[in-house]
A and B are shown apart, each in its own frame.
Chain A
C-alpha cells in the first residue's frame, strides 16, 4: 500500500490551488480583453458616426446657399414642422406656465415675495423652458416623422432614384428641413412663451389672487433683451439640431421596416440628448 505524507498532500493542494487561480486569472484576462475590445470598438464607432454626422451637416449647410432654391419644399416643411406642431405646443405651453406659476407661487409665498411671480414665470419660460420644451415637443412630433419619411424613401429606393437622375438628394430632403426648422423653431418657442406666461397669469392672478398689474409690471422690470436673445439663440440652434439629427438618421436608415423604426427611435433619443447638452452649454455662456 502506498503511503502519502501530509507534506505531499499539502503540495498537491497548493498546486491545485495555483492551477485554479491561474485559470481564474487567465479567464479574467480574457474577459477584460473582450471588454476593452468592445469598449474600443464602440468608441471608434461613436467617433466615426460623429464625424460622419458633421460631414453630413456641413454638406447640407453648403447646399443651403447654392441655387436653385426649393421655396415650395421649404414652405411645405415649414407648414409640416410649424403649423402641425402648433396645437401640441400651445397645449404644453399653457400647462407648463400654469404648473410653473403654481409651484413658484408656493415657494415665493414662503419668502413673502409673491409679487415676483410674473418675472419668475416669464424668465423661466423665456430663458429655459420655452426653447427646451418646445424643441422636445417638436422632436417627438415632427423630428420622428422626418426620420421615418426620409427612411422610407431610402428603403424604397426613392433617394437612389434622385441620385440616378443626377440630382442631389440633400437639396430636396435635407436642406428644406434644416431651413424650415431654423425659421419655425423660434416662432414656436415665442408662441410657447406667450401661452406659458398667459397660463401663469391664469393661475397666479385668476386662481391665486395676485393683482394683474403686479404680475405684468414686475415682468417688464426684470426681463432684459438678453433674456429674449438667449431664448432665440437656443431655439435656432435646437431647430438645427433636431432637423440635422432627424434627417441624418433617416438618410442613413438600414434596410427594412426594422431599420426605419430603429432610426426613428435613435433620432428622437439623440436629438433630445443633444438639446439638453447644448442647452447647458449655451445657458452657461449667458449667465
Chain B
C-alpha cells in the first residue's frame, strides 16, 4: 500500500504540493488528473524519491521513504517500475539492451534467462522483432511500449506512468491504455497513472484523483468523478473556460 500524508513541496517560493493526502491500495490502478503545471509529475517524482518533500510522509509498504538512508531508499526503489513521459530509453543501447538493462544490472540473471525474459516482455507489448534497433530508429508509440516493457521486466509491485500517452494519436492512445490494462491483469501491479486523457482514462483505472492547487480536491471511481457535483472537477472534466478554476498559464 502507498500512503501519502500531508505532503508539501515548494520551488523558489511557489507552493506546488500543498498538504497532499492520498491512499493507494495494493494492485489498484489509479489515475491522477489535474491541470498542466499543477504538480502531478512532481508528485510522481516524490513517490520514487527523485524529489525530497519540504514536509510530509510517503509510506511505501510500511516504509516512510522521506526518512530513510539512500541505501534503504534503493531497496524500496526496486519495488518500482517507471514509465517516463518521453520513455527515457538509453540512446546508446539497442531496444533489447534497454529492456535487458534492469535485469542484468539489478537481478544479475544469466544471459539465457535475460533473453527469455526480454523476448517475453517485448511480445507482451507487441514489439517482437525490433530488438536490434536503437531508440532513435523507432516511433514515439513504440518507445512508450518499450519503456513499459523495461518498467515491467523486473516484475515490480508498483508501476508509475508519467503521461504515458502524451503526443500519441487517438488509436495509439487506446492501444497504450489497453496495454496498461492487459499488463496490469497479467502482472498484478499497483499502478499510478498521470494523465490528461479525459475521458479515455476513465475506462482504464479503478479510481481517479483530481489534483488541484497542490492537494487532492476529489477522489473516487471514474463514474463518481464524471458525475461529480464539485464545480472545479466538473469544469476540468468538461474543459470549459467558464468556471471558478484558476487557469495556470
A binds B: yes
Closest B residue to A162 by CB, please name it: B90
- State whether the Cβ of A47 lies closer than 8 Å to any Cβ in chain B: no
- A73 nearest in chain B by CB position: B92
Whether the pair B105, A161 counts as a contact (CB closer than 8 A) is no
Q: B82 and A164: CB pair below 8 A?
A: yes
Q: Is A165 in the interface zone, CB < 8 Å from B?
A: yes
A163 contacts chain B at the CB level, 8 A cutoff: yes
Chain B hits for A157, CB < 8 A: 84-86, 88
User: At the interface, yes or no: B77 with Cβ under 8 Å from chain A?
Assistant: yes
Tell me if A161 and B88 are in contact (CB < 8 A): yes
For residue B89, give the distance in angstroms from its CB to the closest CB of chain A.
Answer: 8
Query: Are A167's CB and B106's CB within 8 A?
Result: yes
Q: Which residues of A contact B189 (CB under 8 A)?
A: none
Interface string of A142-179 (1 = CB under 8 A from B): 00000000001100111011011111000000000000
Q: Which residues of B, 45-63, contact A by the 8 Å Cβ criterion? A: 45, 48, 50
Q: Are A164 and B91 in contact (CB under 8 A)?
A: no
**B82 & A161 in contact (Cβ 8 Å cutoff):** yes
Are A158 and B91 CB-contacts (below 8 A) given A164-B50, A167-B105? yes
Which residues between 65 and 105 of chain B lie within 8 Å of chain A, taking CB atoms?
74-75, 77-78, 80, 82, 84-86, 88-91, 101-102, 105
Flag if B105 contacts A164 (CB, 8 Å). Answer: no
Q: How long is the Cα–Cα vector from A260 to B168 in the complex, in angstroms?
A: 26
A160 to B, closest residue via Cβ: B50
- Are B77's CB and A164's CB within 8 A? yes
A163 neighbours in B (Cβ, 8 Å): 48, 50, 77
Cα distance A165–B153 in the bound complex, in angstroms: 11
Interchain CA distance A153-B101 in the complex, whole Å: 16
Band of interface residues on A: 10 to 19
- Quote the shortest CB–CB distance from A258 to chain B (angstroms): 18
In the assembled complex, the Cα of A157 lies from the Cα of B83 at a distance in Å of 10
Residue of A nearest to B73 (CB): A166
Closest chain B residue to A172 by CB distance?
A: B105
For A158, A161, A163, A167, the residue with the greatest tally of chain B CB atoms inside 10 Å of its CB is A161
* A residues in contact with B91, CB < 8 Å: 152-153, 156, 158
Please tell me if the beta carbons of B74 and A160 are within 8 angstroms of each other in the complex: no
Chain A residues within 8 Å of B102, by CB: 165
Alpha-carbon gap, A163 to B80, bound state (A): 11
Asked if B50 contacts A156 (CB within 8 A), the reply is no
Distance, CA A104 to CA B106, complexed state (A): 59
Complexed CA–CA distance, A156 and B136 (Å): 13
Kindly report which residue of chain B lies nearest to residue A165, judged by CB atoms.
B102
Residues of A within 8 A of B89 (CB): 158
In whole angstroms, how far apart are the Cα atoms of A161 and B90 in the complex? 9
Q: Which of A153, A158, A166 is close to B77, meaning CB atoms less than 8 Å apart? A: A166
Whether B88 and A158, one on each chain, are in contact in the complex, defined by CB atoms closer than 8 angstroms, is yes
CB distance from A67 to the nearest CB of B (A): 12
Residue from the list A153, A158, A160, A165 in contact with B105, Cβ < 8 A: A165
**Most chain B CB neighbours (cut-off 10 Å) among A152, A157, A163:** A157
Residues of chain B touching chain A, judged by Cβ–Cβ distance below 8 Å, are 45, 48, 50, 74-75, 77-78, 80, 82, 84-86, 88-91, 101-102, 105-106
Q: Please name the 10 residue pairs, one residue from A and one from B, whose CB atoms are nearest each other, closest first.
A: A166-B74, A166-B77, A157-B88, A161-B88, A164-B82, A157-B84, A164-B48, A166-B78, A158-B88, A165-B102
